[in-house]
Structure 1
Amino acid sequence: MRISVLALEGLFDTGLTVMLDAFGLANKFSATQLGGTPRFDVSIVGVRKRVRSGQGLTIPVQPVTAGLKPDWVVVPALSTGTPEQLIPALTRPDVVQAKAQLLKWHAEGALIAASCIGTFLVAETGLLDQQEATTTWWLGPLFRQRYPNVSLDESRMLVPSDVGVTAGAALGHLDLALWLIRRASPELATLVSRYLLADIRSSQAPYIIPNHLAQADPLIQRFEQWSRKNLRSGFSLQEAASALATSTRSLQRRCQEVLGKSPLAYFQDLRVEHAQSLLRGGRLDLEAIASEVGYGDGATLRTLLRQRLGRGVRDLRSDLL
């Protein structure tokens, strides 16, 4: 498998290195333990001759040449973790040139992989339009508003599509590398993940901080504050809209546009977050925690936790041991 990693100025150091280490280990284990030859021909390429990482380290890039025909092009994240940093970065000359190169590679048959903020660069090309994708969870609202033609689910860690694959935040770079390795050999991917002590994560949901998402919009932020005050009493769309001096329709529309979910679904996210916090405290039993977050019994809360987090109460409590 020929993989070209597209390195841009100011990229996220950890994202690049963790991918290179994973592919390097895969080649090593393939040759020494699985009786095969190295499976991954990885090159780091750049649209500029000199590229520095976000930490100021020089990255040894190869120039993009006409003869370069990768099977996969991987786009690591830029070190631009806020909308204020990211939006101007997307208009930089080197980023514009990189977008044109991605379109060229894709037209020649290459598949595109991106993780974290790298997904924004791919979305800028239009390649993700009418496709499912994920991105770094805390920039989900910005992604959804900027690319309305992309079907975004920031709760997922990895989302394959016709274009290639997108991955979630930060260490989603490792999940992305393991996904590509698994395409060549599930046995090899398991060996690399065990060597790195890397659990395979299917969801970003346990890591999402709801109030960070709410900060993307003033109305949603006020709705988040109202919701936290009313977790025990339960959800009423009419009461929420009235307290926020807006209509139920406007509140529903803004939640969908910013968060990609209904007001009730976001309210339940806050319940799950608070329940997790109480579970970590370890002082209350499940019935008491259910009462604290507005449910009549522990069974209902248990079901919600499993639906939202993919894990049961016993698993969540075991994290404390």
Structure 2
Amino acid sequence: MRISILALDGLFDTGLTVTLDAFGIANNFAARQMSGPPPFEVSIVGVRKSVRSGHGWPIPVQAITPDLKPDWVIVPALNTSTPDRLIPALARRDVNQAKAQLLTWHAEGAHIAASCIGSFLLAETGLLDHQEATTTWWLAPLFRQRYPNVLLDESRMLVPSGRMVTTGAAMGHLDLALWLVRRASPELATMVSRYLLADIRSSQAPYIIPNHLAQADPLILRFERWAREHLKEGFSLQKAADALTTSARTLQRRCQAVLGKSPLDYFQDLRVERARSLVQGSSLDLEAIAAEVGYVDGATLRTLLRQRLGRGVRELRADLR
């Protein structure tokens, strides 16, 4: 498998190194177990002759030539984790050159993978329009507003869609590398994941901080504060809208545009976050915790925690031992 990693100035150092390490370890294991060439031929390429990482380290890149025909192109994240830094970065000349090159490679039949904030660069090309995708969870509101034609689901960690795949925040780079190794050999992927004490995660949901997402919009931030004060009560869209001096339709529309979910779903997220905090940080039994977040019994809360977090009460409490 020929893999080209597209390196741009200011990329996320860990994303690049963990990707290279995963493929390097896979090639080493393969060399011990089988004859023949390494399964992964990895190159670092750039649209510029000189590229530096986010920490200022020089990255050796090879030039992109017409005879470079990768099977997969990987777009690592830029080290720009806030909107005020990311938006200007997307307008840089080298980023525009990279977008044009991605379109060329895609037209030639290459598969394209983007990790974390790298999904923004891929979305800029238009290739993700009407395709499913994920991205780093804390920039999901910006992604959703900037690329309304992309079917974003930031709760997922890895989303294949046609000849493209996107992954979630930060260590999604490792999830992507393991996923590509698994496509070549499930046995090899198992060896690499055990060696690195890592495995592909299916969801970002346990890591999402609802309050952080609310910062993206003044109305959503006010709704989040109101919701936290009313977690014990049954949810009423009209009551929430009245308290915020807006219409139910406007609140519904803003939640969908910014968060990609209904006000009720976001209210449930806040309940889960509060319940998780109480499960892990208090001595209350599950029935008492359920009452604190507005559920009539612990069984309902137990089911919701497992659905939203993929883990039960015992597993959540075991995390602290």
Whether TM-score is above 0.5 comes out as yes
* Residue in structure 1 matched with residue 246 of structure 2 by the alignment: 246
**Deviations 1:67-123, CA, capped at 9 Å, x for gaps:** 000000000000000010000100100000000000000000000000100000000
Percent identity reads 79
Contact 1:237–1:263 (Cα < 8 Å) also in 2: yes
Aligned partner of residue 173 in structure 1, secondary structure: helix
Deviating more after overlay: 26-35 vs 272-281? 26-35
- Partner SS, residue 65 of structure 1: coil
Q: Is contact 2:178–2:199 with CA below 8 Å preserved after alignment?
A: no
* Structure 1 match to 2:234: 234
Cα-to-partner distance string for 1:176-232 (whole Å, 9 max, x where unaligned): 000000000011111000000113210000000000000000000000000000011
8 Å contact kept, 1:133–1:153: yes
User: Do 1:136 and 1:168's aligned partners in 2 also have CA atoms closer than 8 Å?
Assistant: yes
One-letter amino acid matched to 2:108 = E
Distance between the aligned counterparts of 1:96 and 1:242, measured in 2?
A: 45
Distance 1:278 1:59, change over 3 A: same
Aligned residue number for residue 88 of structure 1: 88
CA contact (8 A) 2:167 2:175 kept: yes
- Measured in 2, the distance between the counterparts of 1:29 and 1:138 equals 36
Q: Which runs of 5+ in 2 are unaligned?
A: none
Q: CA deviation at 1:316?
A: 1.3
Letter matched to residue 295 of structure 2: Y
Is residue 2:162 matched to residue 1:183?
Answer: no
Aligned equivalents of 1:233, 1:280: Cα separation in 2? 22
Is 1:320 matched with 2:320? yes
- Note if contact 2:5-2:76 (Cα within 8 Å) is conserved in structure 1: yes
CA distance in 2, matches of 1:33, 1:303: 44
Q: Does 1:56 align with 2:70?
A: no
- Poorly superposed stretches of 4+, deviation over 4 Å: none
Task: Supply the distance in 2 between the matched residues of 1:136 and 1:61 (Cα, whole angstroms).
Answer: 26
Aligned to 2:74: 74
Find out whether 1:297 has 2:297 as its counterpart. Answer: yes
Displacement, 1:126? 0.2
Which residue of structure 1 lines up, in the alignment, with residue 23 of structure 2?
23
Between the aligned partners of 1:30 and 1:284, the Cα distance in structure 2 is 51
Aligned CA RMSD, in angstroms, stands at 0.9
- DSSP-derived class of the 1:68 partner: coil
- Whichever residue aligns with residue 161 of structure 2, its letter is S
Structure 1: any 5+ residue segments left out of the alignment?
Answer: none
Q: Deviations over 1:3-56 (max 9, x none)?
A: 000000000000000000000000000111355641000000000000000000
For 1:20 and 1:249, locate their aligned partners in 2 and report how far apart those are by CA, in whole Å.
Answer: 48
State the TM-score, normalized to the length of structure 2: 0.99
Counterparts of 1:204 and 1:304, CA distance in 2: 16
Question: How far does residue 282 in structure 1 lie from its aligned partner after superposition?
Answer: 3.9
Amino acid at match of 2:249: R
Cα deviation 1:283-317 (Å, max 9, x = unaligned): 11111111111101001101111111111112211
Aligned-partner Cα distance in 1 for 2:162–2:50: 32
User: Aligned residue for 2:268?
Assistant: 268
1:1-321 map, 5 Å: 1-34=1-34, 37-321=37-321
CA distance in 1, matches of 2:36, 2:286: 51
Aligned pairs, number: 321
How much has 1:164 moved relative to structure 2?
A: 1.4
For the residue of structure 2 that corresponds to 1:245, the secondary structure is coil
* Contact in 2 for aligned 1:45/1:63 (Cα 8 Å): yes
CA contact (8 A) 1:30 1:36 kept: no
Alpha-carbon contact 1:128-1:163 (below 8 Å) kept:
no
Instruction: Report Cα offsets for 1:111-140 as digits up to 9, x if no partner.
Output: 000010000000000000010000000000
1:23 & 1:218 partners in 2: Cα distance?
A: 43
SS of equivalent residue, structure 1 residue 149: coil
